[in-house]
Amino acid sequence: MPFSRFTLMAFLLVCTGAHAFEGGRFECGDLANPVGPYDYRKDKSLLSNVEHNHFNDDVRMLRKGQSASIAGDLDYLLRAYPNHPGGLDAMGRLGRRAKSEKLYGANFKVSCYFDRAIRLAPDDPTVRALFAQHLWITGNRKLAVDQIEEAEKLGANDANTLYNIGIMKFEMGDKISAMKYATRAYELGFPLPGLRNKLKRAGVWK
């Protein structure tokens, strides 16, 4: 689905599944920010400073905030670098842990941070895969598949992204595709054996 249609038409369900959420600038805010916004892949001039102050191990592991609440630090990071993969992953995990789209210290709903990342970098397959993972875990399977397909079209090629797509393909019952992505992920050095073990038990891994 082209990005323009996604922005205008897609309705993303919140974690509870009880409400509909329409992405885009109206719902999720303008990308303009005092710091950035920067594309994580292309402009890392201020990245080390932003991460040093807002994305230490405590924030990454969701133990406690660094300069504000956990969500507040992640919000700062993701307003400066909307497609920061670690920040997006942490924000998704925090929302799922809280079972809420609205987190104390965050300026936007959890789903909005994925929407903002897509608007900044519609060609970033890692964002699509992370969003797919978040949607899949929160029960929005159809929308997750749409994002998996976008990640595939955009040529996902890093180990983490390939592994996550492989996991979702396996859970969808597409073991052949899961095997393809697992093979590529492990060739690139992905360290965790989970997907390989699933494929072995399914009699697919050779």
List the domain boundaries for the chain: 3-156
Task: Give the closest residue to 83 by CA, choosing from 123, 133, 35, 34.
Answer: 123
Q: What is the pLDDT of residue 24?
A: 81
Q: What is the pLDDT of residue 8?
A: 30
CA distance 92 to 103: 11
Confidence class for position 25, pLDDT limits 50, 70, 90: confident
Q: What is the pLDDT of residue 23?
A: 67
Confidence class for position 22, pLDDT limits 50, 70, 90: low
Architecture of the CATH domain 3-156:
Alpha Horseshoe (1.25)
CA distance 132 to 156: 13
Instruction: Record the pTM.
Output: 0.82
For the cut 90, the answer to whether the pLDDT of residue 79 exceeds it is: yes
Confidence class for position 177, pLDDT limits 50, 70, 90: very high
Q: In the predicted model, what is the mean pLDDT of residues 183-199?
A: 96
For the cut 60, the answer to whether the pLDDT of residue 171 exceeds it is: yes
Question: How does DSSP classify residue 46?
Answer: T
Q: Are the beta carbons of 107 and 117 closer than 8 angstroms?
A: no
CA distance 205 to 202: 8
Q: What is the pLDDT of residue 19?
A: 34
